[in-house]
Amino acid sequence: MLRDPNPHVGFGGPGPHFCLGAHLARREIALMFRELYTRLPDLELAGPPVQLRSSFINGVKSLPISFTPGGGR
């Protein structure tokens, strides 16, 4: 905190505050969803998503889903 300059890293927008792992994190989540849809082909929303209410981060707090257990293999 006392360094000058203090080039800390965050997940947000461009510039010196951009997280170096943000692109990897987005690729990993996309891959996870692709695999999830492959294993659970009847996956569907079971209710509306609940947005995370925060001044610091944008996201989904909960996302109700339904599926048939063991339906994809």
If one compares 9 and 23, the residue with the highest pLDDT of the two is 23
| Pairwise CA distance, residues 60 & 37, whole Å | 19
Place of tokens 């690729």: 27
Residue-wise pLDDT for 16-73, tens only, equals 667 778 889 999 999 999 999 999 999 999 999 999 988 877 889 999 999 998 765 5
pLDDT of residue 4: 72
8-state DSSP, 10: B
Give the chain's length: 73
pTM tops 0.85: no
Task: Please report which helix (H) or strand (E) contains residue 45, including its range.
Answer: strand 44-45
- Alpha-carbon span 8 to 5, nearest angstrom: 9
